[in-house]
Amino acid sequence: MQMYFRQRFFSWLDSYDIYGENGEALFTVEGKLSWGHRLHILDAGGAHIGTIQEKVFTLLPQFELYVGEAYLGCIRKEFTLFTPRFTIDCNDWQVEGQWLEWDYAIDSPSRGHIASVSKDVFRMTDCYAINVADPQDALGVLMVVLAIDAEKCSRS
């Protein structure tokens, strides 16, 4: 499954549109005013299906993931010198990328390759192409990509 992630150019808070291979809207992401990043994920019909909330008083960045109102888990950035690495405590996914953090893979020791993410660097806003091996993982992969993008924005 191919998804395209595009940040809106004119928005006060983080807002994104996620499209499928044929240009159909899959998800909309709206940033909410809060202490730290707070992103609400809406399905194509506008129903709230998930939230990403940054934990603000931590040594390394952490983001809590919610599906609906239920806590799913947390994604944490690990301390590394050159290649970024994130762990997710709600499944056995691991995220490893290049040192610029534009391209990375989400893998699982038990299931193998979950998704690959690549950033289009020649755009005014953040744009990513996301290849998801299993469409059932689309929401989880989107949450990981949003958390990593929010972490990079916090650093910049």
Beta strands 94-97 and 85-88: pairing type?
A: antiparallel
Instruction: Note the pLDDT of residue 82.
Output: 75
Q: What's the domain range around 134? A: 2-155
Total domain count, the chain: 1
pLDDT tens for residues 97-134? Answer: 876 667 899 999 999 999 999 988 766 667 889 999 99
Instruction: Note the pLDDT of residue 49.
Output: 97
What's the gap between Cα 46 and its chain centre? 19
Instruction: Note the pLDDT of residue 9.
Output: 66
**What mean pLDDT, rounded, does the chain reach?**
86
Instruction: Note the pLDDT of residue 126.
Output: 74
Amino acid in position 32? K
Instruction: Note the pLDDT of residue 18.
Output: 94
**pLDDT less than 70: residues of the chain:** 9-13, 34, 99-101, 122-125, 153-156
CATH code at position 15: 2.40.160.200
| 24 to 20, 38, 101: CA distances (angstroms) | 5, 25, 27
**Dist. CA 43–CA 90, nearest whole Å:** 22
